[in-house]
Structure 1
């Protein structure tokens, strides 16, 4: 992906507009963190319309490739993975939205959910760090002893 590709992103709206169940699309990853280089892919996250069925991911990727966007990592935010959602919205680089998408409310909701979850995430990360420091590779020390 070329570092000067941002003007080309405007062409993506025409593709996403053909899918009525796509409410918004965010750009995330190296393209928004300043680490974009020639080998980078384009990280896109789709916000589906509430109540939408399963989006045709393969069809969307095919349409993107036909438009010249062949190196795309596409995620659909129909998941409860709040860490992924937060990673996507934290830079708030929206590249497509329908008229009824409330960008501010969506951003606020994701950030509040992440902040509510963060204490649990911190405990999990600390426990994982301790397991690594003590040479444990599995969740349960018993499994490490049995593997020896």
Structure 2
């Protein structure tokens, strides 16, 4: 009777162990599947990080290129502005010289007109004198 009791207890223990093993194996399988899913997600994230790093690197290169272009364009703009200032200065000087020459030209024309009037007067007097002398 005692042996039967022991056997029954052993059978119960065995059944419980078998059940526990089945549960443990099911849990193990579930965790392995979860691990596979997590590894896949990790790989996907690593690919995404690598892609983003490449995009960042490209963007940084473009940024550096744009900064260099900006510096070159600013230098060119400065040079152009300096040239413009020089040209404006030369233009102002030439305008002043032109005005001065125009004033001198007006003076000379006035002098010529005065001389022509004087000459005409002198010739008129000369003719008058010749006519008097001729009479």
Q: TM-score, normalised by structure 1?
A: 0.19
- Rg larger in structure: 2
Return the structure number with greater relative CO, CA threshold 8 A, min gap 6.
1
Q: TM-score, normalised by structure 2?
A: 0.21
